[in-house]
Amino acid sequence: MSSSPDMTSSDMTSPSKPLPTMRDTPTVAALQMTSGPDVASNLATADRLLRVAADAGACVAVLPENFSCMAMRDTDRLAIAEDDGRGLAQDAIAALAARLKIWVIAGTIPLRVPGERRVGAACLVFDATGERRARYDKIHLFDVDVPGRGEAHRESANFRPGSEVVAVDTPAGRVGLSVCYDLRFPELYRRLSADGADWFVVPAAFTVPTGRAHWEVLLRARATENLAGVVAPGQSGFHASGRETYGDSMIVNHWGEILARLPRGEGVVTAIFDRTAQKNARGSFPALAHRTLF
């Protein structure tokens, strides 16, 4: 299903498709990459890692932010941007999902926005038949000067921020979509939690200073305060542009416990979400029901 960039539904699951059968103990996977500027080479790596995830029994696998291209320059992403619903990266991931019979949450792919020079940083969800079930455009854009590095980022110069909060049902439960810098804004995850999210994804390309200081604590906080799992695949290592990313891809359960992590290098980590234990925790420790709005 191709969805318009202007869709406003918080759940883009096609009404014509049956909802996925939820598993009580689903295996999920986070894929860590060191992407470069060549899309075809990155897709070959994604192909290899998705096969590893499928062989490990994952029903949902999550790719990192910018998995299809870590560009030499930010403006290069404009040149490789795809039309919504078709393109090299979208077609390849859809075909892989169908071939491997696995749901794939495709980090971010730059998608053209009609009437805009800038593109959307789109996180796309493909089901096990290769059909697209959801699109989320990164809401919070990374316009910062990184402390201690002389490193500056201005994502808003080339990316249009999204405006819609998106959750979608998968075989691993209802997942709330977010990307990288979104992690610093807990109100987004509260919205997703209110929309029934059992777990969140945070595909990322974190800088090393901010990753070292904040990555783990923020992931565990988002999990703990919402009693929700988190799957956070990252870019890792040195890229052709000279940029270094933090990595440390992680899977965290609803109690804030780290189930799996990969500190550096390319690879796959998997873990099992115990949805029965999560349901029991939410029942006996009803913090979500005790929220007071100010």
Tell me, what's the pLDDT at 234? 98
Contacts of 34 (CB under 8 A, 6+ apart): 70, 235, 236, 237, 238, 239, 245, 265, 266
User: Once rounded to an integer, what is the mean pLDDT over residues 49-58?
Assistant: 98
Tell me, what's the pLDDT at 75? 82
- Could you give the CA distance from residue 58 to residue 73 in angstroms, rounded to a whole number? 34
Tell me which of 6 and 88 has the higher pLDDT. 88
What confidence tier does 3 reach under pLDDT thresholds 50, 70, 90?
A: very low
- The string of DSSP codes covering 127-168 is -TTS-EEEEEE--S--EEEETTTTEEEEGGGTBPPP----EE
List, in sequence order, the alpha helices (H) in 128-274. Answer: 186-194, 208-210, 216-226
Tell me, what's the pLDDT at 16? 59
- Look up residue 71 and give its two tokens: 């560009």
Q: Does residue 259 surpass a pLDDT of 90?
A: yes
Which of 82, 180, 244, 266 is catalytic? The answer is 180
User: Once rounded to an integer, what is the mean pLDDT over residues 230-255?
Assistant: 96
Tell me, what's the pLDDT at 6? 35
Please, are residues 110 and 77 in contact by the beta-carbon 8 Å criterion?
A: yes
- What is the greatest pairwise CA distance in the chain? 52
List, in sequence order, the alpha helices (H) in the chain. Answer: 39-55, 76-79, 88-100, 186-194, 208-210, 216-226, 275-284
- Could you give the CA distance from residue 106 to residue 133 in angstroms, rounded to a whole number? 12
Please, are residues 258 and 15 in contact by the beta-carbon 8 Å criterion?
A: no
DSSP state of 235: B
> Chain-wide mean pLDDT for the chain?
92
Q: Does residue 12 surpass a pLDDT of 80?
A: no
- Could you give the CA distance from residue 292 to residue 294 in angstroms, rounded to a whole number? 6
What tens digit of pLDDT does each residue of 212-229 get?
Answer: 999 999 999 999 999 999
What tens digit of pLDDT does each residue of 94-153 get?
Answer: 999 999 999 999 999 999 999 999 999 999 999 999 999 999 999 999 888 887 767 888
CB atoms within 10 A of CB 294: 2
Q: Does residue 208 surpass a pLDDT of 80?
A: yes
User: Once rounded to an integer, what is the mean pLDDT over residues 160-172?
Assistant: 97
Tell me, what's the pLDDT at 22? 86
Phi-psi map region of 291: left, alpha, beta (phi>0 left; psi -120 to 50 alpha): beta
- Angle 29-223-166 (CA atoms, 0-180°, nearest 5)? 75
Contacts of 228 (CB under 8 A, 6+ apart): 176, 189, 193, 197, 198, 199, 200, 222, 254, 278
- Angle 68-69-70 (CA atoms, 0-180°, nearest 5)? 140
Percent over 70 (pLDDT), the chain: 94
Please, are residues 23 and 53 in contact by the beta-carbon 8 Å criterion?
A: no
Identify the three-state secondary structure at position 110.
strand
Q: Does residue 5 surpass a pLDDT of 70?
A: no
Which of 138, 155, 244, 266 is catalytic? The answer is 138
What's the predicted TM-score (pTM) here? 0.92
Which of 65, 155, 244, 266 is catalytic? The answer is 65
Give catalytic status of residue 279 as yes or no.
no
Percent over 90 (pLDDT), the chain: 81
Tell me, what's the pLDDT at 147? 79
Tell me which of 104 and 71 has the higher pLDDT. 104
Tell me, what's the pLDDT at 71? 86
Give catalytic status of residue 180 as yes or no.
yes
Give catalytic status of residue 59 as yes or no.
no
Judging by DSSP bridges, how do beta strands 258-262 and 249-252 pair with one another? Answer: antiparallel
User: Once rounded to an integer, what is the mean pLDDT over residues 43-53?
Assistant: 98
What confidence tier does 2 reach under pLDDT thresholds 50, 70, 90?
A: very low
